[in-house]
Amino acid sequence: QQQVKQSPQSLIVQKGGISIINCAYENTAFDYFPWYQQFPGKGPALLIAIRPDVSEKKEGRFTISFNKSAKQFSLHIMDSQPGDSATYFCAPNNRGAQKLVFGQGTRLTINP
């Protein structure tokens, strides 16, 4: 029940477009759904996260959508910019989790 599937593995979007990354999970006990952003040579950094009591959370150009029944959540980047080019990871988890499982990562490239 620890499996986490992230898609797509890589994504190329034109500047100004919408980038969408998906994360599907199996463990229904998960109650924290974060997206991390990692630039080359740096460690991951929390971008945005959601708790299951809401279905959507928006922070600037970044929106996280949560579908409890489908057991998946998505990251939407509006008006994508070249500076958004990075690798994105989902890492759903819950209080008391005994290990942390990350998605496989999505390498996002925004073409100018």
Partner 1 sequence: KAGVTQTPRYLIKTRGQQVTLSCSPISGHRSVSWYQQTPGQGLQFLFEYFSETQRNKGNFPGRFSGRQFSNSRSEMNVSTLELGDSALYLCASSLGTGLTGELFFGEGSRLTVL
Size of the site for partner 1 (CB under 8 A): 26
**Nearest distance, CB of residue 49 and partner 1, angstroms:** 7
Q: Are 85 and 109 in contact (CB under 8 A)?
A: yes
Using CA atoms, how far apart are residues 17 and 3, in angstroms rounded to an integer? 30
Q: Rule CB under 8 A: is residue 110 a binding residue for partner 1? A: no
Using CA atoms, how far apart are residues 101 and 92, in angstroms rounded to an integer? 7
Q: Rule CB under 8 A: is residue 29 a binding residue for partner 1? A: no
- DSSP 3-state assignment of 79? coil
Among 22, 62, 76, 102, binds partner 1 (CB under 8 A): 102
Q: Rule CB under 8 A: is residue 80 a binding residue for partner 1? A: no
Nearer to partner 1, 43 or 83 (CB): 43
Nearer to partner 1, 7 or 17 (CB): 7
Buried b (16+ CB within 10 A) or exposed e, 15-36: eeeebbbbbbbebeebbebbbb
Q: Rule CB under 8 A: is residue 62 a binding residue for partner 1? A: no
Within 10 A of 77 (CB to CB), how many other CB atoms are there?
24
Write out the residues near partner 1 by the rule CB under 8 A: 31-32, 34, 36, 41-46, 49, 89, 91, 93-105
